């Protein structure tokens, strides 16, 4: 197997995640797209670990999984707070700090 086939697949997933973050308005969907991006990064880390025959890449992939779990916890708490205060989670309507 080539290294590049994994890296290119991961790049495609990353780009799809970027599209999701920019195009969707639903807060939960934006968080899911961020998960897609983190997952693409994980595929990169593990492919390089296999390429270099080194374990640290996999260790860092595990760290990324842990950080993603923390990020989802806080992010969903913020979305819930948003919902409680405004009764919807449309991110385009949050413009309190617009100049």
Partner 1 sequence: MSAMVLCAALPGLDPLTGGEVLVAQNVAFAVIGLTMVAAALRMVTTTNVVHAALYLVIVLAGAAGLFILLGAEFVAVTQVLVYIGAIVVLFLFGIMLTRGSYGTDEDVGRERHLMAALVGVLVLGVTAGSLVDTFRDAELARSAPSTAAQIGDSIFGQYIVPFEAISVLLLAALIGAVVVARSD
Which parts of 19-78 interact with partner 1 (CB under 8 A)? 19-20, 22-29, 31-33, 35-36, 39, 42-43, 46-47, 49-53, 55-56, 58-59, 61-63, 65-74, 76-78
d(CA 96, CA 99): 9
User: Taking the chain, what is the end-to-end CA distance rounded to the nearest angstrom?
Assistant: 52
What is the smallest separation between the CB atom of 94 and partner 1, expressed in angstroms? Answer: 14
Query: What are the C-alpha distances in Å from 2 to residues 35, 45, 48, 53, 57?
Result: 25, 15, 11, 14, 18
Of residues 3 through 22, those in contact with partner 1 by CB under 8 A are 3-9, 11-20, 22
Q: Which residue in the set 2, 95, 96, 98 belongs to the binding site for partner 1 (CB under 8 A)?
A: 2
94 binds partner 1 (CB under 8 A): no
For tokens 């708490």, the residue is 77
């Amino acid at each position: 197997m080539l290294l590049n086939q994994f890296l290119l697949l991961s790049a495609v997933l990353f780009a799809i995640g970027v599209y999701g973050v920019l195009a969707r308005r639903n807060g939960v969907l934006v968080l899911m797209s961020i998960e897609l991006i983190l997952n693409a990064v994980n595929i990169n880390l593990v492919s390089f670990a296999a390429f270099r025959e080194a374990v640290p890449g996999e260790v860092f992939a595990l760290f990324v999984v842990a950080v993603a779990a923390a990020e989802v916890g806080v992010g969903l708490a913020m979305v819930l707070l948003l919902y409680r205060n405004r009764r919807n989670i449309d991110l385009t309507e949050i413009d309190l700090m617009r100049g």
